[in-house]
Amino acid sequence: LDDLLAEGVRGRRVLVRADLNVPFVKGQPGVIADDGRIRAALPTVTALRDAGARVILCSHLGRPKGAPDPAFSLAPVADRLGGLLGAPVALAADTVGDSAHGVVASLVDGQVALLENLRFNVGETSKDHGQRGAFAAQLAELADAYVDDAFGAVHRQHASVFDIALHLPHYAGGLVLREVEVLRRLTESAQHPYAVVLGGSKVSDKLAVIQALLPRVDTLLVGGGMCFTFLRAQGHEIGRSLVEDEMVDTCRELLERAQGKIVLPTDVVAATAFEADAGHEVVPADQIPADRLGLDIGPASVAAFSDALAGAKTVFWNGPMGVFEMPAFAEGTRGVAEAIAKLDAFTVVGGGDSAAAVRALGIDEDAFGHISTGGGASLEYLEGKDLPGLAALHAKEH
């Protein structure tokens, strides 16, 4: 971005790919539950505006099926962005059609427009190289330069993060640079003891990162829905808790290989139903009643996890410890987040859900070394994968 600013952007049309994929309040589409990703996009947008660029923002939101769908419109994001910038943000009704061209043509220096959800166009996510390339070429017609600031989407081989770089002079945004710098520190120069805390619902989503991290970390704390597959692998009764039967053997192997590095909850909050007002009680993790399901880790586990974290010099946390959106099942996530926040360590919160949990629970964001905007992206980076959106920034042709 500094290179682009140094070249001068006054009057130039700059296409900024951001990750404005914000969560909506459950059951209330259009009501933004956490605007962290919109706020994270502001520094790049502001730097470009201040330098007189005509800023064309674009993003995906959710997973619509390649056609316009009002439930996935970026309209609420345009409103929130306008509020945060203190200047209106025009929303184009389409991505590359007449409306997009019209809105871009009407921009004056320093103004910002937002294109509609990129995933309303089938070319954005297509596996067909030609179809994706054609969409990228259409997007490129709207602008003179391209800035990738969508760290949360750099692991996707999609038109607006990958193919586009072949069509326009391209630059990394400040957010992408900062995120990569932090994650590189975790992979290349993490100080020990290095502890990782993983939560979220599925082991299968985290398997690759667990395998990559196990040899490199000293402790791996596992909470959230995924802990029940591990507890089952230890032979415990887990009642009606979430379990991935096909992963039980894999979890058993991981536990053997980990030689004590993997720490599991010792107690859980077991509920009668997956509902905010369901009856619930704290039970030992190896004695969950047959008719109950675990929706959070319990207080003894929070204490044990906090002890295991004490003295750590590096911590990476991805995934809530329980269903934090429901107050009755939020204490595990709160307790672990607070324990991490207190450490005298380099602490990184990775992932949309954990970042949203920190803000939703009112925990001081500044107490963490870094809160990543990328869930899947930060995990894939830590796995050591080549990320298409980062590789594209080295592309030559345009």
Phi, psi of 230 (to 5 degrees): -70, -40
The residue (of 18 and 92) whose beta carbon lies closer to ligand 3PG is 18
Closest distance of CB 152 from ligand 3PG, Å: 4
Read off the tokens for 5.
């600013």
**Pick from 153, 227, 297, 345: which binds ligand 3PG (CB under 6 A)?**
153
Question: Taking CB under 6 A as the rule, does residue 225 contact ligand 3PG?
Answer: no
Distance CA(251)–CA(274), nearest Å, equals 24
The residue (of 343 and 349) whose beta carbon lies closer to ligand 3PG is 349
79 close to 35: Cβ distance less than 8 angstroms: no
Q: What Cα–Cα distance (Å) separates residue 30 from each residue in 4, 71, 77, 113?
A: 34, 7, 9, 19
Question: Taking CB under 6 A as the rule, does residue 21 contact ligand 3PG?
Answer: yes
Q: Establish whether 62 is an annotated binding residue.
A: yes
148 close to 172: Cβ distance less than 8 angstroms: yes
The residue (of 154 and 251) whose beta carbon lies closer to ligand 3PG is 154
Catalytic residue among 352, 374, 375, 389: 352
Q: Establish whether 27 is an annotated binding residue.
A: no
179 close to 373: Cβ distance less than 8 angstroms: yes
Tokens 């003891």 identify what position?
193
Phi, psi of 364 (to 5 degrees): -60, 115
Question: Taking CB under 6 A as the rule, does residue 376 contact ligand 3PG?
Answer: yes
- Among the listed ranges 71-79, 149-157, 228-236, 288-296, the one in contact with ligand 3PG (CB under 6 A) is 149-157
Helix (H) or strand (E) holding 14: strand 13-17
The residue (of 152 and 322) whose beta carbon lies closer to ligand 3PG is 152
**Pick from 10, 26, 63, 65: which binds ligand 3PG (CB under 6 A)?**
63
**Pick from 156, 167, 261, 370: which binds ligand 3PG (CB under 6 A)?**
156
What ranges in the chain are assigned the alpha helix state H? 2-7, 36-50, 75-85, 98-105, 129-140, 174-189, 203-213, 227-233, 248-258, 299-309, 331-342, 352-360, 376-383, 388-391
Count residues near ligand 3PG (CB under 6 A). 9
Name the binding residues for substrate.
Answer: 19-21, 37, 60-63, 119, 156
Active site members: 37, 202, 352, 376
Q: Which residues of this chain interact with ligand 3PG, rule CB under 6 A?
A: 19, 21, 63, 152-153, 156, 352, 375-376
